[in-house]
A and B are shown apart, each in its own frame.
Chain A
Amino acid sequence: MPRFPGIHRMFRSREISSVEREVDDELSFHFAMRVQELIAKGLTPEAANAEAERAFGDVALVRASLQRMGREVRGRERRAEWWADTVRDVRLALRGIRRQPMFALTVVLTLALGIGANIAMFGIVDRLLLRPPAHLRAPDLLRRLYFTITSDGEETTQPHMSYPQFLVMRESMRSAAGVAAFYSPELTLGEGDAARPQPTMLVTANFFSTLGVRLVLGRSFTDEEDTPPAGARVAVISYELWQREYGGERQVIGNPVTIAGDRYEIIGVAPRGFTGVDLKRIEVWVPLSAAASKIINSRYVPEPWNQAKNIEWLRGIARVNEPATIARTTSEATGGFRRALEATLSTARVDSMRPRAALEPLLLERGPDRTPTARIAVWLAGMALVVLLIACANVANLLLARALRRRREIALRLALGAGRGRLVAHLLTEGMLLTLFGGVCAVFIAHWGGVLVREIVIPDVAWGDTLVDPRMLLVAGAAVLLTWTLTSLVPALQASDIELAGALKTGAREGGGKRSRTRNVLVVAQAALSLVLLVGAGLFLRSLHNARSVDLGFSADKVLTVEANFAAAGYSNEESLALYERLLERMGSLPGVQHASLGVTIPFSTLLNVGIRLPGRDSVRLPPTGPPRINAVTADYFPTLGTPIRQGRGFTERDRRGATPVTVVNEMMARTLWPGQNPLGQCVIITESEGEPCLEVVGIAADVRWNDLQEHPAMQMYVAMAQRVWDSPLRVVYLRTTEDGTALAHAARREVREMVPSILFADVNSLAQNIEPSMRPWRLGATMFTVFGALALVLAALGLYSVIAYDVAQRMHEMGIRIVLGARSADVLLLVVGQGVRVAGLGIALGAIIVLFTGRWIRSLLFEISPRDPVVIAAMTLTLLLVAVAASLIPAWRATRVHPSEALRAD
């Protein structure tokens, strides 16, 4: 038999009188009795009173202490009662859940998905935008250096500087507590077969002290170890590398580690999860001067790396003493930047560039280098909240429907004396239990969902090993609280606000008109929000599709690039070039290779610019995209990369040294330099050194997007490799393969190793792999919006279904009458489905308005598609309508199956 919590309360009269009153009552009874007794013994009333008081002691003191104790007892009783009530509520709620497991499961799952999505997205936004990288002391005082110059009215801001520039900067920024520089290339780690390219960092000696990071073992670099041109070969390794390769042994200090073919001595171990100032995984840190000459001089410039002013490779990090000094340090930095520029340029030229340095936030995504990924992640976090709102609406809906079904039970309880407060508490407890279960499941969903999003969609961030950290749990708690309030309060208040007599008298099918309206409003809101999410999904899917099918000017599919650093293995420039020629020959004859060619730069990876002039012209007016990009290639280059030749010809074997020097330019370059003329037969001079020949234009190639999917076409020229001497001996082999290149990549690596056994590592990549990271923002958007959109759609369908099904159940009577009066199945079907479609339609209209008004906020995140794209909106509207029809069809079908006599008899 159910217990009615309100009943025994009614008999408890104690609540009415206060503790103070009770003490006074007790004491006055005592005195009355005592005085009466004393009078009976023959005392006068006055004497009796005096005697009673004397025998009692200090009345005021005792009274006060009795009242204090009374209050304590009362407080304890209240708490005990509250606990007892709560325990009873929890038990009742658990019983209710057990009675309707499907209902509970639906609610818990709905909430778990909604809350889980929020936790997971918070984790991502937190990492990208909120939390500073791990292990830094006072990270808000650390700033990144950025440099801005203006040329041709256009400002460009970038973080890179040459080593001489860094020295000037460090000297100029006197008010800073420290200025450090770093460079993070991939270098070969290990030897022989175990050698792999790994992310490394070359840092100035003060890097660790500037960041304020404490190593877990050993020490960091001293100034003596970082002295140009060649510092000491010592290394700090990552905690992860220490655990993986050295088993976490303390004896690791002093062991050798091979980096880019050189042996370094391990002198320290970084703390766990330390990544420096970026969020990318780093395996080893070495002094800048220890590795710079090998990396910079063998690849890029001939002069000593610490004097090379024209290669900007370092990024700078500064620690200010306090936030107030940022402005001063910034102006010092600008002064330093000016001086660095003046070392190579005239003062007038420097003035015209309006150089400016800035101290930007430590988190990349909050500075000038922010990517669309973080902004999309913020949007997605917002969408996760929308999903949670939809989930809440759904659960509120379900709880409301349940409360309605229980109206008679509730009315009975009220009639039997249950307090409305207790009833609300009971319903709230039920909601809280369901939400809590949902929250717990959500943490697991966030955990697994987080893995998916982090590893697949944003893989280049070192997330750390705790997928759900305390901050995320805090957010989970907040989400649970919010959800609980949203889902339980309305049904609880509504359920307790019941007209007793009416509810008891009528059957279950009548009444509830007002609540039905509330539920319809919830479904309309769900449909509206779902449409917003679905349109978002559609827009990002189209963006991803557009990004994938963008005409790059070459076809990246089935192209492999092979990089082998022969110079690093000890070969001279001439020997290296001969080795590349041989490598090209051998690769070209591998089965499965259609075309092979040599080149210098790699799309979406490396880029070279050259200055040019035209004979008979004073200067060349450069487009905003800057001077032409250049690549030196061999005969089969254009077919290998799949860049179409629009006019003239590509290179042939005859374009060798001694023959007429030739060049192929792209359409943009031809258009810019020779507008309205035939570009073929014109000639261009590269101004890198004196006495360069004029290169005859023999072909026009299609424009390519070499560096970025969204870049504007830039001038691009190609020269024949044999006709041009290059400072750097580094080349790349491009291979066009007939099918998927995985097996071929193996073969290519083996060829290199066979040819030059002493080579450290041959880097074989597919071109598509290089381009892939550029797709990530849209992939992230498309994946997550689709997931959220699908979730929202399912939830909305469920919500609509439950409303319609409930409505039909309530109107069985009416349906029966309709059928008796001659309504056909189709009429009944139409009636019910029409209702569903009307509700959904209202939501869609509302959603469409939201889409139209919020679209401009995401315009910049999309790829070549309008946020109001009619096709997407129409398609998603249709999807939602179809789902609405499907959701209403089941209850509608049930309505047509009503047996008239049964429906009329019931209740």
Chain B
Amino acid sequence: MQGRHDLDLLQGTLDVLVLKTLSWGPRHGYAVARWIRDTTGDRVRVEDGALYTALHRMEQRGWIESEWGLSENNRKAKYYQLTPGGRKQLRVQTTTWTIYAEAVFTVLRAV
């Protein structure tokens, strides 16, 4: 039960991170992975496989859409970008996450 709960949290967290990453514009999967790693200073450890699964799942849900394009080094790469639905999702999840995090902090500081 406990482990399952952690995984759910992690998935939701990963989704919101990916959405945030894409909020600045279209990126391919590798760029998303790299940006998360660099920004968090490698503190949040995400398996690349889980990241791609999240990308495809969100595409299936219609939050993001994909298109083939050329990368910086002229290779064929799949670019993802937010749909209007994805943008709304990002807003909702950001709010939820912030409230959640603040609540947790409040509890922790109270000690």
Q: Are B78 and A62 in contact (CB under 8 A)?
A: no
**A55-B48 Cα distance, complex, nearest whole Å:** 6
Q: List, in ascending order, chain B residues with CB within 8 A of A70's CB.
A: 56
Q: Are B78 and A57 in contact (CB under 8 A)?
A: no
Number of interface residues of B (CB under 8 A): 21
B45 to chain A, nearest CB (A): 9
Q: Are A34 and B56 in contact (CB under 8 A)?
A: no
The answer, yes or no, to whether A25 is at the interface (CB within 8 Å) is: yes
**0/1 string, B1-45, CB within 8 A of A gives 1:** 000000000000000000000000000111001100000000000
**A52-B56 Cα distance, complex, nearest whole Å:** 20
B73 to chain A, nearest CB (A): 8
CB < 8 Å neighbour of A30 from B30, B50, B53: B30
**A481-B49 Cα distance, complex, nearest whole Å:** 51
Q: Which of B30, B34, B49, B77 has the most CB of A within 10 A?
A: B49
Tell me whether A55 and B52 are in contact in the complex, defined as CB-CB below 8 angstroms, given that A29-B28, A30-B30, A34-B30 are known contacts. Answer: no
The answer, yes or no, to whether A660 is at the interface (CB within 8 Å) is: no
The answer, yes or no, to whether B109 is at the interface (CB within 8 Å) is: no
Q: Are A73 and B30 in contact (CB under 8 A)?
A: no
B18 to chain A, nearest CB (A): 14
Q: Are B60 and A69 in contact (CB under 8 A)?
A: yes
The answer, yes or no, to whether B91 is at the interface (CB within 8 Å) is: no
The prevalent SS among residues of A at the interface is helix
**0/1 string, A1-45, CB within 8 A of B gives 1:** 000000000000000000000100111011011100100000000
A881 to chain B, nearest CB (A): 67
**A53-B60 Cα distance, complex, nearest whole Å:** 25
Q: Are B60 and A29 in contact (CB under 8 A)?
A: no
The answer, yes or no, to whether A58 is at the interface (CB within 8 Å) is: yes
CB < 8 Å neighbour of B29 from A26, A52, A61, A72: A26
Q: Are B53 and A29 in contact (CB under 8 A)?
A: no
A50-73 interface with B by 8 A CB criterion: 52, 55-59, 61-62, 65-66, 69-70, 72-73
**A127-B61 Cα distance, complex, nearest whole Å:** 54
The prevalent SS among residues of B at the interface is helix
Q: Are A59 and B49 in contact (CB under 8 A)?
A: yes
Q: List, in ascending order, chain A residues with CB within 8 A of B59's CB.
A: 69, 73
B49 to chain A, nearest CB (A): 4
B92 to chain A, nearest CB (A): 22
Tell me whether A25 and B49 are in contact in the complex, defined as CB-CB below 8 angstroms, given that A30-B30, A70-B56 are known contacts. Answer: no
Q: Are A29 and B47 in contact (CB under 8 A)?
A: no
Tell me whether A69 and B48 are in contact in the complex, defined as CB-CB below 8 angstroms, given that A25-B78, A29-B28, A29-B78 are known contacts. Answer: no
**A486-B30 Cα distance, complex, nearest whole Å:** 57
Number of interface residues of A (CB under 8 A): 24
Q: Are A30 and B75 in contact (CB under 8 A)?
A: no
Q: Are B29 and A30 in contact (CB under 8 A)?
A: yes
B53 to chain A, nearest CB (A): 6
Q: Are B75 and A32 in contact (CB under 8 A)?
A: yes
A228 to chain B, nearest CB (A): 81
Q: Are A29 and B49 in contact (CB under 8 A)?
A: no
Q: Are B48 and A25 in contact (CB under 8 A)?
A: no
Q: Are B76 and A34 in contact (CB under 8 A)?
A: no
Q: List, in ascending order, chain A residues with CB within 8 A of B78's CB.
A: 22, 25-26, 29
**A72-B62 Cα distance, complex, nearest whole Å:** 12
Tell me whether A57 and B60 are in contact in the complex, defined as CB-CB below 8 angstroms, given that A25-B78, A29-B28, A29-B78 are known contacts. Answer: no
Q: List, in ascending order, chain B residues with CB within 8 A of A29's CB.
A: 28-30, 71, 75-78
**A55-B33 Cα distance, complex, nearest whole Å:** 11
The answer, yes or no, to whether B57 is at the interface (CB within 8 Å) is: yes
A432 to chain B, nearest CB (A): 31
Tell me whether A56 and B49 are in contact in the complex, defined as CB-CB below 8 angstroms, given that A29-B71, A29-B75, A73-B59 are known contacts. Answer: yes
Q: Are A30 and B56 in contact (CB under 8 A)?
A: no
A104 to chain B, nearest CB (A): 39
Q: List, in ascending order, chain B residues with CB within 8 A of A72's CB.
A: 60
Q: Are B75 and A66 in contact (CB under 8 A)?
A: no
A592-618 interface with B by 8 A CB criterion: none
Name 15 extra pairs, CB < 8 A, besides A22-B78, A30-B30, A66-B52.
A25-B78, A26-B52, A29-B28, A30-B48, A33-B30, A34-B48, A55-B47, A56-B47, A56-B48, A58-B49, A66-B53, A66-B56, A69-B57, A73-B59, A73-B60
Sorted from nearest, which 10 A-B pairs have the closest CB atoms?
A: A57-B49, A62-B49, A57-B47, A56-B48, A33-B30, A69-B56, A26-B78, A30-B30, A56-B49, A29-B77
Tell me the A residues contacting B by CB distance below 8 Å. 22, 25-27, 29-30, 32-34, 37, 52, 55-59, 61-62, 65-66, 69-70, 72-73
Tell me the B residues contacting A by CB distance below 8 Å. 28-30, 33-34, 47-50, 52-53, 56-57, 59-60, 68, 71, 75-78
Mind listing 11 A-B residue pairs with CB under 8 Å? Answer: A25-B78, A26-B29, A26-B52, A26-B78, A29-B29, A30-B52, A57-B48, A57-B49, A62-B53, A65-B53, A72-B60
